[in-house]
Amino acid sequence: MIGKILTDIRRFSLDMIAPRTCPCCGARLSETEDEICLRCLVSLPRTGYAGLRTPLRDFVDNGSGEPGFCAAWFFYDHTTDFADIIRSAKFDDRPAFARALGRLYARELLSAARVSGVPGHLSDVEILLPVPMHWSKLLGRGYNQSREIALGISEVTGIPVADNLIARKPHRTQSLQNASRRRDNLVGKLEAIRPGELDGAHIAIVDDVVTTGATVRECVRALSVSGARPASVGLIALARSAN
């Protein structure tokens, strides 16, 4: 109780000095709004992709484990204001924002599971594996937004975040590549370590945006090459490219 009061006082003080604003519309956030204003949150172009039977399963069908729980929160279109959600999480030095997005999405997923009662929801996932970032890129950015998103999901669900995926070599940014170059760009640069820790587990790879699926498929390939034997491998992304 005392902790919540102190948090509210801190937030109020910060809002007086530097008001929080919605990354989509720029409106000032109220005390009860968490990073995105209610109007934009309601208007978010949700994909409806959450479960065991979504188009996203095609991105995780190249491994030794069965395709598992797959979900993406909203459609990403760089021409809309909603794209600023991803840009803010990725490029504006806002790891706390990326983590808050993970919390927001996890709450929606859990709420949807309670309402539908259909199996194949977030509760099936036992391990979250963020898409890794090479140390040289991490040094420049200061944080891995995929890991922050995973940590936000973990705060709500209790699902642990593991570090079994690593980037052994740097690669050019995926956003500037076409589909074939995205695949070639990552081959052999991601690696799974301590594969035995993943045996028999239901895993979800966590990323900010999934476009062609090249990054996720390379993560799945790295898991398979390592000898890991997960029960299933799925995907949780904040956004799915609309293109």
Quick one: which of 219, 66, 52, 69 has its CA closest to 146? Answer: 219
Q: What is the mean pLDDT of residues 84-88?
A: 93
Tell me the per-residue pLDDT of 173-206, one tens digit each, with 9 for 90 and over.
Answer: 655 554 555 555 566 689 999 999 999 999 999 9
Q: What is the mean pLDDT of residues 27-49?
A: 92
State the Cα–Cα distance between residues 155 and 143, nearest whole angstrom.
Answer: 18
Q: What is the mean pLDDT of residues 120-127?
A: 84
Domains and CATH numbers, the chain: 1-43 (no CATH), 45-241 (3.40.50.2020)
pLDDT band at 1 (very low <50, low <70, confident <90, very high): low
CA distances to 17, 28, 115, 186 from 221, rounded to whole Å, are 48, 44, 35, 11
Query: In this predicted structure, what is the pLDDT of residue 124?
Result: 87
What's the average model confidence in pLDDT over 125-132? 97
Give the mean model confidence (pLDDT) for residues 99-107. Answer: 95
* 53-69 mean pLDDT: 92
pLDDT reported for residue 34: 83
Residue 8 has a pLDDT of 53
The CA-CA-CA angle for residues 92, 209, 72, to 5°, reads: 125
Neighbours of 101 (CB within 10 A): 28
Q: Is the dihedral of CA 81, 85, 175, 125 positive or negative?
A: negative
Of all residues in the chain, the percent with pLDDT exceeding 70 is 83
Helix (H) or strand (E) holding 216: helix 214-226
CB 71 within 8 A of CB 52: no
The mean predicted confidence, pLDDT, of the chain is 86
Q: Which residues lie below 8 Å from residue 228, measured CB to CB, with a gap of 6+? A: 64, 164, 192, 195, 196, 198, 199
Residue 50: pLDDT above 80? yes
- Percent of the chain topping pLDDT 90: 65
Q: Which residues are CB-neighbours of 231 under 8 A, at least 6 positions away?
A: 65, 66, 68, 200, 201, 202
